Amino acid sequence: QQQVKQSPQSLIVQKGGIPIINCAYENTAFDYFPWYQQFPGKGPALLIAIRPDVSEKKEGRFTISFNKSAKQFSLHIMDSQPGDSATYFCAAAGPQGGSEKLVFGKGTKLTVNP
Amino acid sequence: DGGITQSPKYLFRKEGQNVTLSCEQNLNHDAMYWYRQDPGQGLRLIYYSQIVNDFQKGDIAEGYSVSREKKESFPLTVTSAQKNPTAFYLCASSIVKGGHEQYFGPGTRLTVT
Of A9, A43, A98, the CB nearest to B104: A43
Residue-wise pLDDT for A23-64, tens only, equals: 999 988 888 999 999 999 999 999 999 998 899 999 999 999
Strand-pairing partners, residue B70, are B73
pLDDT (0 to 100) of residue B92: 95
Q: In the A/B pair of chains, how many CB contacts fall below 8 A?
A: 57
Contacts of A106 in chain B (CB under 8 A): 40-42
**Residues shown for chain B:** 113
Inspect the interface and report whether the beta carbons of B101 and A34 lie closer than 8 Å: yes
Contacts of A100 in chain B (CB under 8 A): 31, 50, 94, 96, 99-100, 102
Q: What is the chain A residue with the closest CA to B90?
A: A43
pLDDT (0 to 100) of residue B39: 85
Cα B72 to Cα B4, B33, B49, B57, B93: the distances in Å are: 9, 12, 11, 19, 10
Q: Is A86 on the interface with B (CB under 8 A)?
A: no
Range with the lowest mean pLDDT among A101-105, B74-78, B89-93? A101-105
- Residues B40 and B8: their CA atoms lie apart, in Å, by 24
**Could you tell me how far CA B26 lies from the centroid of its own chain?**
16
Residue-wise pLDDT for A56-96, tens only, equals: 999 999 999 999 999 999 999 999 999 999 999 999 988 65
Strand-pairing partners, residue B112, are B13
Chain B: closest CA distance from residue A80 (Å): 23
Tell me the percentage of chain B whose pLDDT exceeds 90: 81
- Residues A97 and A70: their CA atoms lie apart, in Å, by 25
Residue A104's SS3 state is strand
Contacts of A42 in chain B (CB under 8 A): 106-107
